[in-house]
Amino acid sequence: MTKLPLRIIQISDIHLLADTSGALLGVKTQESLEAVLHLVHQEETPPDLILLTGDLSQDGTETSYQRLASMLASIPVPIHFIPGNHDNVKTLNNTFQGDNIFPQKQIILQNWQLILLNSQKPGKVEGFLEQSQFDYLQECLRAYPNHYSVVVFHHQPMPVGSQWLDNVGLKNADEFWKFISNYPQVKHLIFGHVHQEFEQEKQGILCFSPPSTCIQFKRKQDHFGLENLAPGLRWVNLYEDGHLETGVRRAAKYVGVFDKDAKGY
Ligand SMILES: [Fe+2]
């Protein structure tokens, strides 16, 4: 039996490209991911689980997903994933495969349940939870009513304080919050998409996101901008009594060069 706390690492918004030296607004996304994965390799004991919370690929190509799988192959930890707005869901599901990569979206770990949802609205940057996702969430929560639960999807279900980014968050967030109010076992919510460290409580649920492994969006801005912060990951420790500890680790030695004049991505 795994010794509590359960240790999870969240890695998000990798934006890998088919070209190994491909860059997003100046940042070589493979190189910056390598710097973040180095942090994972430095862990004294491997975590129990890695969550990839969307935008695994920038171009949705088979090559990008296959290369990502091979970059992760040396990490002896189960990896679960959800799509982001940039992903090609079909290609992701068909080509992102490996001995340590699992397609399951319901994860039971001792007295915890993690439920992974797809918030992608095909062809759009903004997100939306379809009825099928609410049905799945309900099914999972009803199946394990006494497990502390963590819901995971890509788009932010609350404003993070940047107007341009909050215009492309989860469009039916109100519906989600109303739905979730019926399930007090949901303790935490994990998302990606916002390319920044963020934590906020809502309806008694702690919601948070990590830095991206590539470009970092400037916080609290009305218009798009990038911030000169190192890429990173989020660690999450889940305790037996339902509480959680979390924090961010950055690849401090990685010096990324990004396009300071970028007006969008
Ligand atoms: Fe992203």
| Percent of the chain residues past pLDDT 70, beyond the cut | 98
Please give all residues whose CB falls under 5 A of ion ligand 1, grouped by chain where several chains appear. 13, 55
What separation in Å is there between the alpha carbon of 260 and the centre of ligand 1?
18
Which pLDDT score is estimated for 105?
98
Q: How confident is the model at residue 190 (pLDDT cuts 50, 70, 90)?
A: very high
Give 18-26's long-range contacts (Cβ < 8 A, gap of 24+): 18/59, 18/61, 18/63, 18/64, 20/67, 22/58, 22/59, 24/58, 24/214, 24/215, 24/265, 25/215, 25/226, 25/258, 25/259, 25/262, 25/265, 26/256, 26/257, 26/258, 26/259, 26/262
What separation in Å is there between the alpha carbon of 15 and the centre of ligand 1?
7
The pair phi, psi for residue 94, each rounded to 5°, is: -85, -25
What separation in Å is there between the alpha carbon of 46 and the centre of ligand 1?
26
Contact 225, 215 (CB under 8 A): no
| Mean pLDDT value across the chain | 95
What separation in Å is there between the alpha carbon of 181 and the centre of ligand 1?
28
Q: How confident is the model at residue 265 (pLDDT cuts 50, 70, 90)?
A: confident
Which pLDDT score is estimated for 3?
60
What separation in Å is there between the alpha carbon of 9 and the centre of ligand 1?
17
> Does residue 168 or residue 23 have the better pLDDT?
168
What separation in Å is there between the alpha carbon of 215 and the centre of ligand 1?
9
Indicate if the pLDDT at residue 220 is higher than 60.
Answer: yes
Indicate if the pLDDT at residue 141 is higher than 60.
Answer: yes
Indicate if the pLDDT at residue 2 is higher than 70.
Answer: no
